[in-house]
Chain A
Amino acid sequence: MTFINYASREINCKIVYYGPGLCGKTTNLQHIFEATAPQARGKLISLATETDRTLFFDFMPLELGTVRGFKTRFHLYTVPGQVFYDASRKLILKGVDGVVFVADSQEERMDANVESLYNLEENLNTQGYDLMKIPYVLQLNKRDLPNILPVADIAAELQRKEEPVVEAVASSGAGVFDTLKAVAKQVLTELRKS
């Protein structure tokens, strides 16, 4: 949910990275954190298990710059991807302004992608949102691995509307900022409409 503070001239928006377990949601945030100047971002908070699996969420505030005299701040969240953390995923989607679905391009993870995407649609509906109407980007991650499916095949299975499809290798940073830009642009465009 966008929060506009006219006194401090700030716009705050919330973006959630969604996707199956081990698809690279946290890695996206880690790359953004490492590649951004310290004055433009806050701490990266990770609520993770001892084995570094996301337990509740990762969070990072990011300031992109000023538009029409207002500072634009994006709060980036990831959800825990493992199936049994569904209650947490629902909570994190509350107040979302834009969603990035991080798909794992490996052939053997296609079922997990499909299941997670259905879960996203369902959980958005629970919160009163419609995937077809909110700012949304499909990221195809892990494009550097040998056993990946062609982009067209994954898109045919996972693309829900005319959303941007971005190829990425989050571990090296490829496509990470393109994804963020694609979703942030849609969020700000929505702001213009409202």
Chain B
Amino acid sequence: MSASGAAATPEELKERIEAGIPGASAAVTGDGHHFNAVVTAPAFAGLSRIAQHRLVYDVFGPEVGDRIHALSIQTRTSETESIA
């Protein structure tokens, strides 16, 4: 777990999501405990919402619910796809 002692930042989450999911781009907001991530990745194509969100959660493993207290996720497969 990287930087497990320090508070999480939106920048850190963005970097780790983009590094962890091939081709992903992420927009992350948050206050150090509660975060919201809008993640766009071609890797999401064909996956259920649950599977898409799991890919994002998997980047952080047990940190979700702990160091990252809450992580809200919206996923898209491409930039042009609108959120419902």
Partners in one complex: no
Write the residues of chain A forming the contact surface with B, with a CB cutoff of 8 angstroms: none
